[in-house]
Structure 1
C-alpha cells in the first residue's frame, strides 16, 4: 500500500528546511530509523554531499539518520533496502536524467507501491506524477524520457502561482503554461500551492495544508479544490 507525502516545497518563506512538515514527517516515518535521500536534483548546483548534509540536519530533529543514495555503490540495492525514502527538490530534468542513468526509476516505483514510505518535495514531487512535463524547471539536460513514476494518476505543478493582477510582467502565467500542455496532452494537472501537500494512503490522495489547490483538465474550466479533498477522482 502506497504511503506518500507529496509536498509543493521543502521550505516556506522565513522558515527552516522541512520545518513546516516536521509533525507530519514524524508520523509518516515513525517506523523508519533511517531515511534514504535522493539528492540528484541538486538545487543551484549544490554537491550531493552538501545537499545530504542539509537534509541530515532536518531529520535529526525527529531522531532519524539520513544516507544519500550517491553514497552507495549499488543504488538499486539501496532503494530496495530503504526504510523510508525522500527525494528533494531542485531541477527535475537533472533528477529524472540521473534516475534513468542509475537505473533506479522503475525500482523506486516498485518499492513505493509496495509500501516503503516516500516523501517528495518540488522536483521530488514532480516525479510522482505520470510525466515531468508540467515542471517549472529549465531543461538544463536532456532526460531519456519524460515518463516518471506514475504513482499519482495526474501531473503536478508544484509552487503553483496565481496571476498577479498588479504585476507588469507580460509573460505566461502558470495557468497559461498548463493550458499549453493541455493543447497536446490529456493528463490532469494539480497546481499545488506553497505550504500544501498530498497525503497518499493506498488509493486515497488527500490535499493537506490550509490552501486550496487548482485542478486543470483538458477542455474543462479549471476548478479549486478544498483541503481534505480526495483527488483520486482525477484517475477515474
Structure 2
C-alpha cells in the first residue's frame, strides 16, 4: 500500500502543492494519470483545474472523478487517486453516496498510490472523528477509508499563551477524543506529511514535526524523519454507542 498524506495543500507564501511536489512525484512512482476526488469543495470543476495546473509540470494528467458517469468505476481504473481537502463531512458523505469508500479501498489495496491532503488525509483513517471541520452535512456513517489503523489530526496547532481564545486547545480536544476512544492520533503540523509504503510509515516535511497522542500517556513529540511504522500494528477501539 502506497500513501502520501499531507497535513495541508498550500504553504504560506507558496503556490498550491508547491511545498510537496518532489514528494508527490516520488510517491506516485511514475504514474502519469491521476484521478482527483474533488467532493470536499462545492466547485468541482475549479478544484480539479487547480490540481491539474499544479501537477502538470510533473507530467501528471489529472481527471476529476465528478466527470465520470460512474465515479466508482473510474476509481477502480485509476493509476493513482488524490482526495483533496475541504470539508471532511461533505467529502465523506459524497464518498458514501458514489460508492467510493469500497472502490478506493479496493484500488489502493491493489497497489494504486493514494494522495490525500487535509480532509483527504482524514479520509485515510478509520473514521473522520479527528477532523477540525464543522458538520455542514450529515454522512450516513463516520466510518472512512481505513487505509490506516490510527487517526490523524491535520493542521495541528500548538496552544499559544498570548491568544485571547478561551476554548479548548487542539491538544485538549484530542485528549477528550481519547477519553472515549482507544486509538493513537497523529497531530500533523503544517508542512508535514505521512508516507506509507506497505509496512513502513515515516514522517516527512518541514522540521516542525508532529505530536502523537495515545490514551493514558503524555503526548509525544516526533521529529521529521521519524519511523512511525509501529502505529500500523495498532488495533483501534472506538466507542460505537
Q: TM-score, normalised by structure 2?
A: 0.94
**Alignment correspondent of 1:59:** 55
CA distance in 2, matches of 1:186, 1:110: 26
Give secondary structure in 2 for the equivalent of 1:52.
helix
Q: Does 1:117 align with 2:117?
A: no
Per the TM alignment, residue 211 of structure 1 is displaced from its structure 2 partner at its CA by 2.1
Q: Is the 8 A contact 1:153 1:232 kept in 2?
A: no
2:136 counterpart residue number: 140
- The answer to whether the aligner puts 1:14 opposite 2:13 as a matched pair is yes
| Consecutive unaligned residues in structure 1, runs of 5 or more | none
- Partner residue of 1:50? 46
Does the residue aligned with 2:16 lie in a helix, a strand or coil?
coil
Q: Deviations over 1:66-99 (max 9, x none)?
A: 1000000011110010011111000000000000
Tell me what 2:34 maps to. Answer: 35
Match of 2:194 in 1: 198
Which whole-Å CA distance do the structure 2 matches of 1:181 and 1:27 have between them?
34
Aligned-partner Cα distance in 2 for 1:231–1:106: 26
Aligned length: 232
More displaced stretch, 190-199 vs 226-235: 226-235
- Does residue 231 (structure 1) correspond to residue 228 (structure 2)? The answer is yes
CA distance in 1, matches of 2:195, 2:208: 14
Q: Write out per-residue CA displacement over residues 25-57 of structure 1, whole angstroms, 9 at most, x where no aligned residue.
A: 122224211110000100xx4x10010010010
Partner Cα distance (2:72, 2:146) in 1 = 19
Q: Is the CA contact (8 Å cut-off) linking 1:36 and 1:84 kept in structure 2?
A: yes
RMSD over equivalenced CA pairs, Å: 1.0
2:81 counterpart SS class? strand
Aligned residue for 1:153, secondary structure, equals: coil
**Secondary structure in 2 aligned to 1:191?**
strand
Inter-partner Cα distance in structure 2 for 1:113 and 1:123: 20
Alignment match of 2:160 (pick from 125, 139, 164) = 164
Paired residue secondary structure (2:161): coil
Instruction: Write out the 4+ residue segments of structure 1 that deviate beyond 6 Å after TM superposition.
Output: none
**How do 1:63-74 residues align onto structure 2 when only pairs under 5 Å count?**
63-74=59-70
- TM-score relative to the length of structure 1: 0.96
1:173 aligns to what? 169
Instruction: Point out where structure 2 has 5 or more consecutive residues left out of the alignment.
Output: 235-241
